[in-house]
Structure 1
Amino acid sequence: MTTSLQSRWSVLGALCFMMWVGLALPIYGGSVLGTYMTSELHWERSALGLLIAANMTADGLAAPWVAALVTRIGVRRCLFIGCILMGAASVALATWVSAPWQAALAFGVMGLAAAFISVIPCQTAAAAWFGHRRPFVLSVLFAAVGLGGFVFVWVMTGAIQGSAIGYRMGCWVFFGFAVVGLLVALFFVRDKPDAERLEAWENADRERLSKHRSKLNFPQPAGPSGTGLRVRDALRSPALWAIYFCMFATTCGSAFVIAHAQAHLRDLGHSPVAAAATIGIISAALVAGNLGIGSLAQRVAPRSAYFGALVLFGLGLLTLAYATGPVGLYGYAVIYGVGFGAVQVGPMVLLSSYWNLKVFPMLTAIGLLMQTAGAALSPVLAGIYFDHTGHYEPVLVTIVAMVCVSMVLLRVIGPPKSKGVEALPAGSHAGVHADTHAAR
């Protein structure tokens, strides 16, 4: 049993590393790389927004395609494809790119690579290897992204500043991690465990959790299949669209931070090193948000926990708008980081709680498309606005207003009716009922 357990957790460790390569590196490392690239090549701020938008747009638009390929060719092969694409884009950035449109194309390929490496394949593999521990495992996957972000900010900053070739050294850092990711996927990732071993693990988890389940509001895991619920049935639920709007609004905020926060902080008088340091602080605080929302959801119901996450996220963005002095600088990083970590996990917990695994991957992919719209619009429009006015504050206030609308929708529109979740197995309605009770 010990060997089996070790293999199970080694797969999770490998998936966490792939989340590093596929999500943390493009987002946090890409933020540092894009900032230094546009500065060294003397491009306008709208070009900086274009890079991040191209990355996130390609990632989101590829999500349904990747969801279908994960089912057809498996998680492992999708990871191979993603690492190869990321390596190719890194080489292009280091050796070929000289104009903003070329950089946007390369960042777009990186976004496509991220779709093949990160959320959909890693969550699918984790769901195959874990049942009753699935909520915890999802939190761990996103917490790994926060830890990876903390590491990559300093790795990228140190590599670029300490090299004679400037931002191009950051491109080779991307290439190196793509190669390591390919090896990790080859030797450590498996699509699914042996059925008998999985059953033994689940029986042990079920026995352990049965002693505490009556005290928790957290839902039991939804099964791998349903009794007729289809994606189009789930799409009729107002609760689903409320979650999607929350995802859209928060992505507008996170895309702004990734693309423009460092430049905005420099405009407020902070040094480039101090501005880059906030990304590392955000990454560390993000881990607390990732893990904290799972624990909080067990006590106050998942939807209420997500509401609290939105409050922190909006407050962090509002602090960023006027982050003068050390208190504003580091206060923004901590508040926003915790809120951002929580709003990453919150919608995935709700989607997996309200609907079963038969529709969960595609609902996740559609949600990523909603996020893609925010990622495409926010950084580009913010860059254009800055080029015309010379400041960012009204953009941030507008995004905070959208987050407030999200909070209202989340409170007014309750969980789906019993008809919409009837495909969940026996016992899994507990979290939905608790959530409904908490909302009253």
Structure 2
Amino acid sequence: MRTDVHRAWWVAAVTALVVVAAGACATTAGLLVTPMHREFAWSHGTIGIAVSVNMVLYGLTAPFSAALVDRFGIRRTAAGALSLIAAGAAITTAVSAPWQLIAGWGVLVGIGCGGLATTFAATVAHRWFAARRGLVTGALTAATVVGQFAFLPVMSWVIDRFAWRSATVALALIALAATPLAWSVFRDHPADLGLRPYGAAAFEPKPQPEPGAARRTLRVLLGSARTGPFWLLAGTFAICGASTNGIMWTHFASAAHDHGMPTTIAASVLAIIGVVNVAGTVASGWLTDRFSPRLLLAAYYGLRGTSLLFLPSLLAPTVQPGMLAFAVLFGLLDVATVPPTIALCREIFGVDGAIVFGWVSTAHQLGAGLVALGGGVARDLMGSYDAVWISAAALCAMGALLAAAIRKKTAAQPA
């Protein structure tokens, strides 16, 4: 007997492809640092400014993306974000001054990627799934990771073979190719097709578009910022960004190159982290459906900090067993923090949980941006990233303590 696949799974699949296209931009920036430094003689700190702007705007866009989806729909939001990514990547190919890199990669790509951040994925999962939300959220987060890491060896090879501009052209083409697919498959709500969300017991009418998306987003921020759980979640996620996007995804290739490791090999190590990330993130989504998200977060941050503490001693011209063990452990923990963080936002802040998670994601990107800039400056001043790795490990220990302190409260309760 033939069994039809619920449309929600097709929407989730295309969402995964779209966030893969957006995610490819996140780690490619780390591969551009060394060739741009050589070609333009720009300092690591100067290049880090563009990366920092990218990450900060990514984070600032994310909460407004959730509200814009409520106002304009999934299709328009996705198509607009992909168009910005394509334009920014194309502009980056023609840069000759730092401000141009900031405008193209920092501003346009940053805003475009922010529009398709995990907040977007969380909104899709919330609209289309009543059951399996944790699993779907973990899978879509894993798709982001696939985009961030699966392209690394290919982009590294392209940069070595054809120079760095070819890699940014490829990113622009990937975003352009994903745009018509998203437009043709996405629907803004199951009710558009006369369907119930997957696992829902009853039909849910499509909510009316909400005017004042920006005002609603700011109103949610003001309300949630009056509670202690918001600041604990924001603090832990800022540390998450600092210890992943900020240092690992931006500076690992450059740090490994300082120790004599070829960039292509360093990119392969990051790709291993990305492959393991898929399993780690999906498993974290499964665990989030069954165990305390707060305790899961505390464990994740503690283990991540321990792994970063040992990383400086593992960097070498070749990949040794210790580096492989680090890649596997870090991969399991890297994006595993996302499903429990989303779950806590939903449990504590209810229907505003997706927008609250967007603001928490802003803290993630602010932490990432500060360390992306600070890591480059530290490398310029000290000639090494060792102090940055150790500082990131200390931050993760603090993140474990903050996560353990999170308690369930309603948004109306005072901190």
Confirm or deny: 8 A CA contact 1:285 1:341 kept in the other structure. no
Q: In the alignment, what sits opposite 1:152? A: 151
Change (3 A) 1:418 1:105: closer
Change (3 A) 1:2 1:13: farther
Is 1:390 the counterpart of 2:346? The answer is no
For the residues of structure 2 that align with 1:158 and 1:33, how far apart are their CA atoms?
Answer: 12
The offset of 1:413, in angstroms, is 4.0
Structure 2, unaligned runs of 5 or more: 203-218
Q: In the alignment, what sits opposite 2:169? A: 172
Q: In the alignment, what sits opposite 1:371? A: 364
Change (3 A) 1:321 1:2: farther
Is 1:197 the counterpart of 2:195? The answer is yes
Is 1:281 the counterpart of 2:253? The answer is no
Map 1:166-315 to 2 at 5 A.
166-194=163-191, 197-198=195-196, 201-203=199-201, 232-254=222-244, 255-315=246-306
Map 1:109-120 to 2 at 5 A.
109-120=108-119
Q: In the alignment, what sits opposite 1:345? A: 339
The runs of at least 4 aligned residues of structure 1 exceeding 6 Å deviation read none
Equivalent of residue 320 in structure 1, options 307, 311, 317: 311
Q: In the alignment, what sits opposite 1:416? A: 409
Change (3 A) 1:11 1:199: closer
Q: In the alignment, what sits opposite 1:20? A: 20
Confirm or deny: 8 A CA contact 1:160 1:170 kept in the other structure. yes
The offset of 1:230, in angstroms, is 6.2
Change (3 A) 1:236 1:336: same
Confirm or deny: 8 A CA contact 2:131 2:199 kept in the other structure. no
Is 1:102 the counterpart of 2:100? The answer is yes
Confirm or deny: 8 A CA contact 2:346 2:352 kept in the other structure. no
Q: In the alignment, what sits opposite 1:429? A: none
User: Which moved further from structure 2: 44-53 or 285-294?
Assistant: 44-53
Confirm or deny: 8 A CA contact 2:134 2:286 kept in the other structure. no
Q: 2:372 is matched by which residue type in structure 1?
A: P
For the residues of structure 1 that align with 2:132 and 2:279, how far apart are their CA atoms?
Answer: 19
Confirm or deny: 8 A CA contact 1:38 1:47 kept in the other structure. no
Confirm or deny: 8 A CA contact 2:150 2:275 kept in the other structure. no
TM-score (structure 2 length as normaliser) = 0.87
The offset of 1:70, in angstroms, is 1.7
The offset of 1:167, in angstroms, is 0.6
Change (3 A) 1:131 1:253: same
Number of equivalenced pairs = 392
Tell me the SS of whatever aligns to 1:252.
Answer: helix
Is 1:9 the counterpart of 2:2? The answer is no
For the residues of structure 2 that align with 1:54 and 1:232, how far apart are their CA atoms?
Answer: 24
Change (3 A) 1:80 1:418: closer
The offset of 1:390, in angstroms, is 0.9
Confirm or deny: 8 A CA contact 1:147 1:284 kept in the other structure. yes
Q: Percent identity between the aligned chains? A: 24
